[in-house]
A and B are shown apart, each in its own frame.
Chain A
Amino acid sequence: MAFAANAPSVAKGRSLWGDARIRYLRNRAAVLASCVLVLLIAFVLIGPVFAQYSIEEIDWGIMGQAAELGKPTLANGHFFGADDLGRDLYARTLQGTTTSLMVGLIGASVALVVGTAYGAIAGYVGGRTDNIMMRIVDILMAIPSTLVIILLMVIFERSLIMIFIGLGLTGWLTMSRVVRGQTLSLMQREFVEAARASGVSDVMIIWRHILPNLLGVVIVYASILVPEMILAESFISFLGLGVQEPNTSLGALIAEGAGTMAYGTLWQLMIPLSFFMLTILCMFFIGDGLRDALDPKDR
């Protein structure tokens, strides 16, 4: 049982968002993770300027002798070394990180928009519609999502777009369930009833009262979705079913590196792996910080 304290009166209004920001900034791990992520994004955006090679250029002098000549060095311009084909790992890692970040952000956005709309409508309309809509979600959830994406990649063309579609198709399900549950509980809240009692239309209620109050939960779940999307894409790329050569992603690079680690070219694994883990770790810490900040119940 929490002890109810009389809050000291503050002169200026402090919104829940303001409170959340203060709580977030107090969470050192989350702040650090945000900074690292910003640096990472900056690096990924600016880094290609310094690349000495493109992603597909083959350095014939190194090809076949990667273990001896392809080590990471400043001397020959392969800052992160080269892969077995003699391609520049610096350029490829940057591109792989970009791909992963994009997949995470776009995939999560698709899931967020679709899931929020679907869940909010189901929750607000209620009754039979709600029942049918949620049963559909139940059915879709019974199909393992990685398999759906693999299926899509096999049947249709392998492309980044298809990955987005696949991830979006499977990612929104949980989101819609969460949003529906929240909407239902918001509908029970008296301020929604107060709005209805003063004649505010349904559309305005959703827009002015439901959505702003959903936002906190939605952001929290989206921040959890981002690393999940990155993981899923990497997994599929790892299997060789994802992005097509010469384009690459972190999953594909890890797979390549793992395949050659027995031959003394450890950097081919460790460099993409560190980028991957750094990204995911940042995302998790940020998600955790957001949850603590926006969802006081969870603490």
Chain B
Amino acid sequence: MFRFILNRLIYAVPTMLVMIVACFVLMHVAPGGPFTSERPLPPQVLANIEARYGLDQPYWKQLWDYIANIVLRFDFGPSFQYKDRDVNDVIAQGFPITLTYGVLSFIAATTIGISLGLLAALRQNTLADYLAVGFSFVAQVLPNFVMGPILILIFTLHLGWLPGGGWYGGQWQYLIMPVIALSTSYMASIARITRSSMLEVLNSNFIRTAKAKGLPTHRIVVQHALKPAMLPVVSYLSPVFVYVITGSVFVDIYFSTGGLGQAYVNSALNRDYSVLLGTTILYGGLTIFFNLVTDLLYAWLDPKIRY
């Protein structure tokens, strides 16, 4: 198992490097730099600024310094936009918020989604199944940016139960709507995947053997069917995690939660390349990390996968 983890980590390094280089190159082929604004700066001032951020160096030197700083000091450099802030400060401010509601949404999507899917599969062609299938079909067309307005409409404007936005240290009233908005459609997808994979497993030969052994149904489901039925679900978890984390872009704007997504969109609109690059790399790193976790889960579920 240790060797397997090491192996995956070794593959993750070039992936990470390629991603950094690709982003870096993209930034530099982009027309217009961060300091080209409507009101052109005097050349002397521009040169000073560029020197300060190291933009007058040759590209390869900039790239090298950038990578070295990230790898050696976990330092993404200064923000191009805010004079007194580093990219690290921006991340440190927004990331905990994003992570809080992201993880909560992820947990909600997986636990409720899997439960619904299992319920539907085990009660196939009953009312419970139809309700679960119906819910998951409708919920799939409710992506976060659609869910958000609907929730606010109902709970804030109509019923007046919940505040329409803000964070305030993550009190529960402020968490509910972002989490529901982020998790609903993924919950639905997970429920659908769980249902169909569970149904397939329940039709397999080894379940027939288990029945022939006279095992009670709950034991068959828990001991024999659950693990193999989770395989397709697990491979969908890593995309869901990514969606939930990147979905923060929407949540921050809509619910004013002030997470990393806010910083991302601001930097995108302001061409604050260093923040943009830093957050993209952070997101990418998280993705790679989560892929690794998924691989490990996979190996745990399926004994045939032992690298």
Contact = CB atoms under 8 A, between A and B. Distances in A.
A–B contact at 8 Å CB threshold (below): yes
Given A142-B291, A151-B280, A273 B18 contact: no
B268 A154 contact: yes
B116 interface: no
B244 to A, nearest CB: 11
Nearest to B157: A262
Interface in B135-160: 137-138, 140-146, 148-150, 152-153, 157
Contacts of B153: 261, 266, 269
B246 A139 contact: no
Given A155-B27, A254-B149, A146 B137 contact: no
Interface in A118-177: 138-139, 142-144, 146-147, 150-156
A262 B250 CA distance: 19
A231 B18 contact: no
Contacts of B288: 142
Contacts of B265: 150, 239, 241
Contacts of B242: 144
A39 B288 CA distance: 43
B157 A261 contact: yes
Contacts, number: 109
A155 B208 CA distance: 57
Given A146-B246, A239-B250, A284-B140, A139 B19 contact: yes
Contacts of B157: 261-262
B26 A251 contact: no
A143 B276 contact: no
Chain A, interface residues (CB within 8 Å), range: 35 or more
A236 B254 CA distance: 13
Interface string B196-211: 1000000101001000
Contact of A280 (B26, B27, B141, B246): B141
B26 A155 contact: yes
A1 B141 contact: no
A192 B172 CA distance: 60
Would you list the 8 A-B pairs with minimal beta carbon distance, nearest first? Answer: A258-B149, A155-B30, A280-B141, A238-B145, A154-B268, A139-B15, A144-B246, A277-B141
Interface of B: 11, 14-15, 18-19, 22-23, 26-27, 29-31, 137-138, 140-146, 148-150, 152-153, 157, 196, 203, 205, 208, 242, 245-246, 249-250, 253-254, 264-265, 268-269, 271, 276, 280, 283-284, 287-288, 291
10 contacts: A147-B264, A150-B264, A154-B30, A156-B31, A241-B268, A254-B146, A255-B145, A258-B149, A269-B149, A276-B141
